Amino acid sequence: MKILVSIILVSIISISTLFAQFEKAEEQTQVTNAFLGISSGINNMSGLLGVTGEVRLVNNFSIFGAAGIGGWVTKASAGVKYYRSFPYQTHFALSFSSASGIDEFEMELETEDGDSEDVTMNLKSAKNLNLIIGYNWKVFSRARFHFDFGYSVPLQSKAYEITSNHELSKDSETIMNMMTPGGLIVGLGISFSL
């Protein structure tokens, strides 16, 4: 775990430094204070596909929210962002997300005895704390494209429960752990000023 955290921190610092090298000091005559957009990604704030909204609070700080669909059914997130120069360039975000889950979910998985069987389980609500670094590019006069990278920390130990009489193989447990919300965050999207 310490190695993973170290790798993530080094990556965040490296990406921030790289982005800083390409940033241009753009003078803006009028900065828009609110954006609405769409976003997609892995462990992304809006899930696999969803909508995002962001409102500037003060100076380079904003609050944002997102909602969408993903591997754990629906997902909603809320958080704060700090920009080096709102609303473009590098931003750092801290957010909380909740994925709804679903009861009586059925999936074909390998069981402990080596057979592939339909396993029934409850996908519990999954809550996560997200640490993100991102970058926003101005693409049109009223739009921006963004890329996010980060890590999502699960706030529960196990987000699923087997309800059928099956024991999962180690490979199936690995698959379920990879499907569970949490881990590496990679996201991209486009948003439009309001």
Helix (H), strand (E), coil (C) string for the chain: CHHHHHHHHHHHHHHHHHHHHHCCCCCCCCCCCEEEEEEEEECCCCCCEEEEEEEEEECCEEEEEEEEEECCEEEEEEEEEEEEECCEEEEEEEEEEEECCEEEEEEEEEECCCCEEEEEEEECCEEEEEEEEEEEEEEECCEEEEEEEEEEEECCCCCEEECCCCCECHHHHHHHHHHCCCEEEEEEEEEEEC
Q: Model's pTM, two decimal places? A: 0.79
pLDDT for 141? 84
pLDDT at position 166 over 80: yes
pLDDT for 24? 44
End-to-end CA distance of the chain: 42
Nearest to 163 by CA among 105, 115, 120, 113: 120
- Is 2-22+33-99+127-154+182-193 CATH 2.40.160? yes
**pLDDT tens track for 89-111:** 999 999 999 999 999 999 999 99
pLDDT for 119? 93
Radius of gyration of the chain (CA): 19
**pLDDT tens track for 47-104:** 999 999 999 999 999 999 999 999 899 999 999 999 998 888 999 999 999 999 999 9
pLDDT for 19? 53
Q: Where are the domains of the chain?
A: 2-22+33-99+127-154+182-193
Pair 188, 48: CB distance under 8 Å: no
**pLDDT tens track for 144-158:** 999 999 999 999 988
